[in-house]
């Protein structure tokens, strides 16, 4: 069965650069969630989209933006990167509202140097 | 008080032992997830449950909605089970999950 796909799997950027992370949900899933897990930290919810509209917002910095496209894939854009942005970013997808559960992608490990 | 609490935080077991990890939550949920994460690795979903009990191989997950409590059991534990196990609760109308702090399991041969 198809799973959630994230790209790239690993990314190294320098401070003040920009990064774009992509998440491809399971086919027919209409909701995408983004989470950030810093080193040794619990995952934290960043933002979610349902039917291409932002549905909820968590602890996402103003330097970050995200959107969901017509094919339901989502991109997380990160600008003016800081060392503290180094983390595992993973997305999850689900179908319908309220969701009955989320399926997780493998994550993108971002390292900011 | 965290909305999702796990216990224990750390757990060391001998190979073959029966292991239980507990999760209590205070939020309303439509689903509770048990996740596994190996060091430096991504998150793997083990179970997603909203009621009753689920079994997959040596893993069993149960949930008591009235008591807002879930348990993950590992039978005949093996060193390859060593990982961090995370309970995540949520769903509701928005769907975003709230994660527990994880239980670090180490199974010794």
- pLDDT tens-digit series, residues B26-59: 877 778 899 998 887 778 888 888 889 999 899 9
Distances (CA, A) of B11 to A45, A94, B50, B55, B102: 26, 32, 26, 21, 11
- Residues of chain B with C-beta less than 8 angstroms from the C-beta of A101: 30-31, 33, 48, 50, 91
CA distance A48 to A52: 10
Q: Do B91 and A98 count as a contact with CB atoms less than 8 A apart?
A: yes
Backbone angles phi, psi at A84, to 5 degrees: -70, -10
Determine what percent of chain B falls in helix, strand and coil, rounding each to the nearest 5. 5, 60, 40
- Residues of chain B with C-beta less than 8 angstroms from the C-beta of A89: none
Three-state secondary structure call for residue A102: coil
Segment A49-64, tens digit of pLDDT: 999 999 888 889 999 9
């Amino acid at each position: 069965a198809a799973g959630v796909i994230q790209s790239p799997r690993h990314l190294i950027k320098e401070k003040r650069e920009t990064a774009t992370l992509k998440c491809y949900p399971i086919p027919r899933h209409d909701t995408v969630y983004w989470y950030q897990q810093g080193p040794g930290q619990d995952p934290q919810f960043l933002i979610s989209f349902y039917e291409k509209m932002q549905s909820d917002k968590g602890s996402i910095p103003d330097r970050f933006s995200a959107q969901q496209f017509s094919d339901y894939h989502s991109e997380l854009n990160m600008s003016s990167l800081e060392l503290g942005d180094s983390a595992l970013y993973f997305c999850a997808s689900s179908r319908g509202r309220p969701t009955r559960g989320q399926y997780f992608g493998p994550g993108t490990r971002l390292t900011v140097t | 008080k965290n909305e999702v609490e796990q216990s224990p935080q750390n757990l060391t077991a001998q190979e073959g032992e029966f292991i239980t990890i507990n999760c209590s939550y205070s939020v309303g949920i439509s689903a509770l997830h048990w996740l596994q994460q190996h060091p430096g690795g991504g998150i793997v979903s083990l179970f997603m449950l909203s009621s009753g009990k689920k079994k997959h191989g040596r893993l069993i997950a149960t949930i008591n909605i009235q008591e807002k409590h879930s348990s993950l059991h590992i039978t005949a534990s093996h060193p390859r089970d060593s990982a961090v196990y995370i309970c995540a609760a949520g769903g509701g109308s928005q769907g975003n999950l709230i994660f527990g702090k994880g239980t670090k399991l180490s199974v010794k041969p």
